[in-house]
Amino acid sequence: MSNHTFPIGFIGLGNMGSAMVRRLCAAGYPVHGWARSAHTRLALEDTPVRFHNTIGELCQQVRVVALNVTRTEDVQAVLFDEGGVVANAAHGTTLIDFSTIDAAAVKDFAPTLRARGLEYIDCPVSGGVTGAKAGTLSMMAGGSRSAFEPLVPMLKQLGKTIRHVGDSGAGQAIKAANQMALCIQLVGIAEAMNYALEQGAELSVVLELLQAGLPASRVLDWAGPHMVEGFTRPPTIEAHLHAKDVDMVAQAARAQGLHLPLLFKTAELLNELIATGPKSQDTARVFELVHRHLRGS
């Protein structure tokens, strides 16, 4: 085991979290886990992760706790509920939160944690499960730089682009911008492809020429082939994750009195997408939803 490794507690062991934990174990980090689901434990039984029955037991073993859960409410519960991290973590513990949650909420509870002797770093990630498995995630961290720097060697096992971006909430703000740009662009591609198809163009040719011109992008490279091939490939990114993020940002924007019509329409479409199909479907299937609405239906 190399000199820089240290015990890490990990809460939130879904597809993303499990992939990240596997990389940490492979790098020699002792990982302590807590999960509600027995299925989660079974999925990681081939790893050296040491599972604990309570968050309190986990906190006794570590001075760094990582979170990767789904919603703002989930983070708040793990941190502040009875038996949660705040009630059990030792003074000086650093919490690094890989979840994608509301930036305003982070700004609210980060000072509370600091007052209790805990450092909190909001560090949402981009790159999906594929990036988590490959260790190529992009990470944007907000919070104390002095608390962030000692974690960089560990973060390098998980990602390739790792940036400290400002005070608490800054990481979440940039992740929100990332999801906005990605999903709004996706809806634009779906509309453009549908328009061309309606005029009699062949989708494979449309994609080829869009990729050769200024519209070329990584989003087009990901979504375009799905649209051309009729979604015969396995899902790349599950629609419910994008829908959750974009809807959260839209609600936050409305609460701040911001007028962002492209964001609001995109959130509406993604919510409709998951309401009318499986949550596991690829977000690129918004192409089909746009097609259904093409003539105002």
255: CATH: 1.10.1040.10
Burial of 98 (0-12, 13-18, 19+ CB in 10 A): buried
Chain position carrying tokens 């706790």? 65
Single out the residue of 42, 121, 55 nearest to residue 85, CA to CA.
Answer: 55
Task: Read off the pLDDT of each residue in 245-266 and give the average, rounded to a whole number.
Answer: 97
Task: Read off the pLDDT of each residue in 3-23 and give the average, rounded to a whole number.
Answer: 92
Report the alpha-carbon distance of residue 33 to residue 21 in Å, rounded: 9
Same domain membership, residue 287 and residue 189: yes
Report the alpha-carbon distance of residue 185 to residue 63 in Å, rounded: 40
Helix (H, G, I), strand (E, B) or coil at 160: strand
- Domain boundary residue among 153, 168, 183? 168
Tens of pLDDT, residues 215-255? 999 999 999 999 999 988 888 888 999 999 999 999 999 99
Same domain membership, residue 103 and residue 24: yes
Same domain membership, residue 36 and residue 143: yes
Same domain membership, residue 145 and residue 47: yes
Give the pLDDT of residue 165: 97
Q: Are the C-beta atoms of 125 and 67 separated by less than 8 Å? A: no
Same domain membership, residue 180 and residue 163: no
Same domain membership, residue 94 and residue 52: yes
Q: Are the C-beta atoms of 12 and 99 separated by less than 8 Å? A: yes
Chain position carrying tokens 């038996």? 83
Whether 51 is in a domain gets the answer yes
Task: Read off the pLDDT of each residue in 101-123 and give the average, rounded to a whole number.
Answer: 95
Same domain membership, residue 262 and residue 117: no
Same domain membership, residue 44 and residue 159: yes
Same domain membership, residue 199 and residue 139: no
Identity of residue 61:
Q
Same domain membership, residue 208 and residue 101: no
Token pair belonging to 23: 């990389």
49: CATH: 3.40.50.720
Same domain membership, residue 178 and residue 150: no
Token pair belonging to 105: 């909420």
Structural domain range at position 228: 174-292
Same domain membership, residue 223 and residue 135: no
